[in-house]
Amino acid sequence: GAGVSQSPSNKVTEKGKDVELRCDPISGHTALYWYRQSLGQGLEFLIYFQGNSAPDKSGLPSDRFSAERTGGSVSTLTIQRTQQEDSAVYLCASSLVGTGGTGTQYFGPGTRLLVL
Amino acid sequence: AQSVTQLDSQVPVFEEAPVELRCNYSSSVSVYLFWYVQYPNQGLQLLLKYLSGSTLVKGINGFEAEFNKSQTSFHLRKPSVHISDTAEYFCAVSGRGNDYKLSFGAGTTVTVRA
């Protein structure tokens, strides 16, 4: 596709359930990022993938959060045992150049997660 | 590590009036600077970026920003706004080298009224 796509666009789940959020980056982009946008915390970095390098997980808020990127393309963010404070919009971005911040990060429309 | 402060949380402005959104950053290293716009229920769209060179950067939709290293600022301006500019605007910073992560400000909501 022409841009970064994310699915689902909206997800409502019950506290304690696991959820999976998907991101399809722009074709050919080597770097992929996950951010979270919430009312209390603003926009926060979660995790970064670049090529075959080990991902930078320094932004993940707890061990309930994990992410993988298969085949250097699609990424899945998994939240286990969801809590109400996980409610937020989860944004995915990709860029052609992963290091140095010189590559423009293109963002997807986000997945709006609501944990009841 | 870098941080960003957007000095105004909300900016109401009349159509065809100028607008300035203020952004200050803090960093111990050289940085790249960005402004993103988020329209209602949409993702983030890049308005403009400063990487190096001329300190006056022009972006899409008539926006421009000026990098001021001595004042650690990167204010966004538009000489004449339209109703369609109503959105939330985010200033962001990343380090150079391998520090790719974007650190965002809290955002400024611009509401343009007729």
Q: What pLDDT digit, counting tens, does each position of B19-67 carry?
A: 999 999 998 888 889 999 999 888 899 999 998 889 999 999 999 999 9
Name the residue with tokens 């992963």: A98
Q: Which of B43, B49, B98 comes nearest A99 by C-beta?
A: B98
Between chains, do A109 and B42 touch, taking CB under 8 Å as contact? yes
- In sequence order, what are the beta bridge partners of A34? A47, A92
Indicate if the pLDDT at residue B2 is higher than 90.
no
Between chains, do B102 and A35 touch, taking CB under 8 Å as contact? yes
Give contacts of B100 with chain A, Cβ < 8 Å: 31, 33, 48, 50, 98-101
Q: Is the peptide bond before A55 cis (omega within 30 degrees of 0)?
A: no
Share of chain A above pLDDT 90, in %: 70
**Residue B107's pLDDT band (cuts 50, 70, 90):** very high
- Torsion angle in degrees (nearest 10) through CA of A23, A27, A33, A38: -50
Closest chain A residue to the Cα of B102, Cα to Cα: A45
Q: List, in order, residues 6 or more apart from A62 with CB less than 8 Å away.
A: none
- Calculate how close chain A gets to B112, using CA atoms only, in Å: 22
Give contacts of A56 with chain B, Cβ < 8 Å: 101
Between chains, do A45 and B103 touch, taking CB under 8 Å as contact? yes
Structure tokens at A47: 């995790």
Q: How many residues comprise chain A? A: 116
Q: What is the pLDDT of residue A99?
A: 47
